[in-house]
Structure 1
């Protein structure tokens, strides 16, 4: 029998928190969905990971949580026993693929939910894990029911991490930190971005990542940063950009442990960096350090936190032009949540009056582009009752490439 990732008391506590919000918002039934690859909300509510080693975005898994009474799972039949082993939910209803929305509607009607207010993942930063046509058929087959967006409710729950969730994030951060050290020690002058990505992929596994995806690897060499800009990292590692003496390397990486992410970037350097490069990177680290020490206090609106972090950069001699992406549209964030994804709400942005709360886990990051190179640093923290605690290994500065530490 497979050991569940979370004990039943934790899962029932999640359900009770959800029911309190459902009651306040007039939601009778909550649908949390997943697919055969990764069911984030489904996993959070049920404790059952459908199957995370195969990228198959079909065959939905659904947890139906009533405001009153016990939940049930509506799942692809091959996962029936797996669900019974891993989930706290005793009522498991398997279906033979393909998923048919009308069939789920019949089950909901038989259980007395034919005229219920049903909350579904319809809003910002959510994905309903079923074919659009089948969701339409589900809605049409329940003409007396009302479907509403439960997205904000779900994020309100997921943004506050339990001790068990924090443990998995800590483990992921530890593996990511070890992978940074191991990979940067193996990289050498002349290596391409493809070589860097390969070194990191091997380091993830060697340092303990066992559950696909092993991690994210976003690579920016100084050559690419000068040629294409920092955001070109989204294009992936490119073989034509190689590391020369004095070059900087930016790697934003992350690792998954039992579905939970730890992710943060680090910068390396080939040989001796110029004083200017050291100065810019030290400045970024100082912004992050001061944010953790002074700005990240529960109860503060995100806008105030952003204004203070921008002020740290201005204190170091940078201008608002350096910070344009943060102080004006589209209002990029300086902190984002991490949990079941590597970037998720909350997003600490200048245009947000949302408030920082204990239990939130944030990736605290800052970037400044100077001399055609983007300098960045990032730390993962848990917000506590009076500040924050750091999960990641503190950024040591520009890390020598090819040096065994």
Structure 2
């Protein structure tokens, strides 16, 4: 078995979480917001290290404003868990007991006429409760008001993403040696999940195995189709390792590929490489999409490239920034995202190649480094 280098990343410290919260407050003020309200989900994990063991109807809410210390409102029964989070020392905590109304308490932390960004993951019932407690406040989705909040990674975050990418690469280098022909897609998907865990992932988020005509569906769920000799097979897999995501795609062929499969694969490979070479600070996100799409369109397959070229990645496997037409956000050093062009011929086959890339001071750096050429498997 190929062995990924087993390393333990530097732990995030209380100071790291405090710095993140301070930066978010500064960015919120710069965006014209009074502050930010963070519900359970990836934003809360990134800012505090706290993830409730179960996200329930009970209100949990982090309030970040310039006029008070970061304050976490939690149910009384969950306070011990919150206090054990890595970033808890940088927080003031207020708890509320079952049977009481938490919204007047939470509302007291908000300026009466404030304009607040709020996590996309916030429950509607909690937002409505806050509006009732503070009728003059207004709320705006963080994905619109502060979409780049988690986009630029620091050195420790980059190290985690690199480890996750290396583990995904090791998974690919193992999966190409298993038998494909005569096995169901679900069996190969189970092998992918097992290998991701063996190479250090604590969470497997997806294992796409799209064989033959199923490969023309970009998000095909592995099914009971038996993989046949001559099939091209799209393998897209990833999850979380040390709390940060992996996501990679390679397309393999069971036995020697047809001339058409080889041709389409070569086009996608050229598009992926061109998009990677376009990565540098200051380039608008949409330019990465345009570059990949131009290669595929010039080859006559523009209508068969049916999704954006990439998405950001961090504490979730999909987050801003997005490599898509209309996204004018310029790339910055430390941003991390996928480059994953594809061609999908309905009812026949599909091809996709995906790497996670980060922006350096003058170019791009791949976190996935396995061969892009069409691999023949048994």
TM over 0.5, shorter chain: yes
Instruction: Tell me whether 1:285 sits opposite 2:302 in the alignment.
Output: no
Once the two structures are TM-superposed, the CA of residue 5 in structure 1 deviates from its matched residue by 4.7
SS in structure 2 of the partner of residue 189 of structure 1: coil
SS in structure 2 of the partner of residue 157 of structure 1: coil
Instruction: Tell me whether 1:397 sits opposite 2:376 in the alignment.
Output: no
SS in structure 2 of the partner of residue 305 of structure 1: helix
The alignment yields a C-alpha RMSD, in angstroms, of 2.6
Which segments of 5 or more consecutive residues in structure 2 lack a partner in the other structure?
1-8
Alignment partner, residue 70 of structure 2: 71
Q: Is the contact between residue 50 and residue 82 of structure 2 (CA under 8 Å) also seen in structure 1?
A: yes
Q: 1:306 to 1:189 in 2, by over 3 A?
A: closer
1:33 is matched with which residue: 12, 26, 39? 39
Once the two structures are TM-superposed, the CA of residue 388 in structure 1 deviates from its matched residue by 0.7
CA distance in 2, matches of 1:134, 1:396: 47
Q: Give the TM-score, by structure 2 length.
A: 0.87
1:351 is matched with which residue: 319, 326, 341? 326
Alignment partner, residue 281 of structure 2: 298
Q: Is the contact between residue 73 and residue 106 of structure 2 (CA under 8 Å) also seen in structure 1?
A: no
1:216 is matched with which residue: 201, 206, 213? 206
CA distance in 2, matches of 1:171, 1:348: 23
Alignment partner, residue 189 of structure 2: 197
SS in structure 1 of the partner of residue 191 of structure 2: helix
Once the two structures are TM-superposed, the CA of residue 31 in structure 1 deviates from its matched residue by 0.8
Alignment partner, residue 15 of structure 1: 21
Once the two structures are TM-superposed, the CA of residue 49 in structure 1 deviates from its matched residue by 2.6
Q: 1:4 to 1:114 in 2, by over 3 A?
A: farther
What are the residue-to-residue correspondences of 1:39-78 with 2, within 5 Å?
39-51=41-53, 56=55, 58-78=57-77
Once the two structures are TM-superposed, the CA of residue 289 in structure 1 deviates from its matched residue by 1.3
1:340 is matched with which residue: 315, 318, 330? 315
Alignment partner, residue 328 of structure 1: none
Alignment partner, residue 103 of structure 1: 102
CA distance in 1, matches of 2:166, 2:263: 27
SS in structure 2 of the partner of residue 214 of structure 1: strand
What are the residue-to-residue correspondences of 1:312-391 with 2, within 5 Å?
312-314=295-297, 317-323=299-305, 325=306, 332-370=307-345, 372-391=348-367
2:177 is matched with which residue: 164, 185, 203? 185
After superposition, what is the alpha-carbon deviation per residue over 1:117-158, rounded to whole angstroms, capped at 9, x for unaligned? 142326xxx221x3x233212211113434344433442221
Comparing 270-279 and 382-391, the one that deviates more = 270-279
CA distance in 2, matches of 1:4, 1:311: 41
CA distance in 2, matches of 1:151, 1:321: 29
Q: 1:206 to 1:303 in 2, by over 3 A?
A: closer
| Number of matched pairs | 367
1:307 is matched with which residue: 279, 286, 290? 290
Alignment partner, residue 253 of structure 2: 269
Q: Give the TM-score, by structure 1 length.
A: 0.82
SS in structure 2 of the partner of residue 156 of structure 1: coil
Alignment partner, residue 4 of structure 2: none
Instruction: Tell me whether 1:121 sits opposite 2:118 in the alignment.
Output: yes
Q: Is the contact between residue 219 and residue 250 of structure 1 (CA under 8 Å) also seen in structure 2?
A: yes
